[in-house]
Chain A
């Protein structure tokens, strides 16, 4: 039996179409490999773009907390939660935890600005208005970059799960990327401009 298979293979090697098929198969392997690497790099690239804005927001938090602290004595708990969340973000171990904390931070910042409406002296502060405007702008940018990242992750994860690229992906040891999902309530929270219409 084994001898038959060896004989059949020897005969096959002599045929030209066997070589054509082999070359086509190799080309397919190369293109799939390159596509998977391209998708993986795109996830990294979009992730890096998003991280820039997440960092900008995190950098804005101390200034925001400092500027509202004097006026919002009764909201100390909220401010402390925001500050704590920011420090927890720096220690986040994986993407899942980090994205969850980022979502929570966005929601709390939205709430902070909503509560700020009850403090007319705060709303009259030029510094606060400037920070609010900057936060609004950054939230829009985070939202855009998050959506681009999620599209990249969807393409990448689809390639990892779909036949036949999933075989190559498992050989390459590629892992699924984490989506940055935001609950509907969180998604609405950053639209602070709407609250001050």
Chain B
């Protein structure tokens, strides 16, 4: 049982500390900036005058004092900033240990969770889920889950990736490719190629052709790409197409890909868990996690993943 109220008390305590140290850090940063201005005007220029014009000015003595105070304030700024950052780290670690892990253990007993692990970029590319996008220069993730649901093994993780391009003015801008949850399941049919189902498009994909299947409703819901027409029809039988359409109605931006005997699902803008900011109350988070999990499992139920029987393929 998670004591959310105790976690909220701890959050408030750490938040007060973070405000205090944050204020001190900002204060000394301002001093440092102010001093650097005084240093140039009242110390450094007279010092140059002493060196080059050989005039004895008062600046030499002040110079040492200014340098000392300047360095000392800079040192305090660094210390207070580090303390403030440490408080954030302490909060994340505390929340992870006392809220997130116990929540996952009690709500997902059949799953193993790793906060920092995620699907590799190579796997992301091999899934062809975003074959229409450029190479993801920036790639990160978290929240890796591995386990089974209704006897069916599955893996998922949150992934965020994108690339840099230049806009009309020549400025470098970051473009998101994907930010959301990726699921990986064993599929009961083994392919010697890939079949991609995109809910948006149509696109011209290298190495793939677009096919229309024998279900008008399905064709309206998805753009189907594959390296062979047979693979598309082989993977997508009528019953499965109906389930995929049901899934899409529940989550319109979904994408699927079938590669060899693996089914990948991309759910953009979807996440299961997150560690809240120190400024955010934790009292409503449990409800949010539960809503996310409920949607997640209702989507898997729409797909009837227990019917995707893993068979040994010769």
Contact = CB atoms under 8 A, between A and B. Distances in A.
A137 B229 contact: no
B313 A144 contact: no
Contact of A141 (B234, B238, B314): B234
A141 B189 CA distance: 10
Contacts of A76: none
A122 interface: no
Contacts of A49: 230
B230 A140 contact: no
A145 B188 contact: no
Contacts of B309: 193, 197
Given A49-B230, A193-B188, A197-B309, A140 B214 contact: no
Given A143-B237, A147-B214, A151-B214, A136 B311 contact: yes
B272 to A, nearest CB: 29
A134 B214 CA distance: 26
A69 interface: no
B233 A145 contact: yes
A157 interface: no
Nearest to A49: B230
A145 B233 CA distance: 7
Contact of A137 (B214, B230, B233, B313): B313
Contacts of A150: 214
Contacts of B213: 147
A151 to B, nearest CB: 5
B312 interface: yes
Nearest to B231: A144
Interface string A127-151: 0000001101100110111011011
B234 A140 contact: yes
Interface of A is mostly: helix
Interface in B80-111: none
Contact of B189 (A134, A140, A194, A197): A140
A193 B213 CA distance: 24
Interface in A163-197: 187, 193-194, 197
Interface in B230-262: 230, 233-234, 237-238
- Residue of A137, A140, A144, A151 most packed against chain B (CB within 10 A): A144
Contacts of A140: 189, 234, 237
B71 to A, nearest CB: 74
A144 B312 contact: no
B230 A148 contact: yes
A193 B229 contact: no
A145 B214 contact: no
B311 A193 contact: yes
A133 B311 contact: yes
B211 to A, nearest CB: 9
A15 to B, nearest CB: 44
Given A137-B313, A193-B309, A144 B233 contact: yes
Interface string A81-96: 0000000000000000
A187 B309 CA distance: 19
Nearest to A141: B234
A110 to B, nearest CB: 15
B64 to A, nearest CB: 85
Interface in B296-314: 307, 309, 311-314
A11 to B, nearest CB: 49
Nearest to A133: B311
A193 B230 CA distance: 21
Contacts of A193: 188, 309, 311
Contacts of B238: 187
A193 B175 CA distance: 45
Contact of A144 (B230, B307, B311): B230
Interface string B208-221: 00000110000000
26 contacts: A49-B230, A133-B311, A133-B312, A133-B314, A134-B314, A136-B311, A137-B313, A140-B234, A140-B237, A141-B234, A144-B230, A144-B233, A144-B234, A144-B237, A145-B230, A145-B233, A147-B214, A147-B233, A148-B229, A148-B233, A150-B214, A187-B238, A193-B188, A193-B309, A193-B311, A194-B307
Listed from nearest, the 6 A-B pairs whose CB atoms lie closest are: A144-B234, A144-B233, A147-B233, A148-B233, A147-B214, A151-B214
Given A140-B237, A143-B237, A193-B188, 10 more contacts: A134-B314, A140-B189, A144-B234, A145-B233, A148-B230, A148-B233, A151-B214, A193-B309, A193-B311, A194-B307
